[in-house]
A and B are shown apart, each in its own frame.
Chain A
């Protein structure tokens, strides 16, 4: 069974379009994340939800809107796509253990290409 899954794996679209990426985890974790990985492999945290509550909201254009319908799902909606949004987007999940977090488990990534 896939622990953290993302759909779609590839997404090619035109500038100005709106698109969504979905993420699901079956690990029973309480925290989920979205990361953006640029062409130089740098990973930047975008958002994090703990039990459906937004706990991390980095400096990200408000065209990006996360939504967590339940603990197992975290979706990312992007409005008015721009060329600079082209990247690989990773979803991850983790569990709070006491006062610290256990390791993150990552999805396979969604490669977004904006033309």
Chain B
């Protein structure tokens, strides 16, 4: 129940196209859903995050769509660029009283995105 399932495992997109990565979860106590971008040899960098009180959040070319009833959320990268080529991780955490608010992140398996020129 602590798992976050992420798909696809890898994705190839042409420059200017839309990249879509999907995640699903089971734990209804999760209330924070960040996406991290990771380049080879580097640490995960926070890209964008959403809480379940909104269905969509947009920051520049990056949009998170959130479907609470389906327990799914997705990352859309509009106008994908070669510089977006990286591994993307979705994650989830809970901040409720039971967890003490310590917010460990549960990560998905990652999606390796390649944007071709």
Q: Do A and B come from one complex?
A: no
Instruction: Tell me the A residues contacting B by CB distance below 8 Å.
Output: none
Instruction: Tell me the B residues contacting A by CB distance below 8 Å.
Output: none
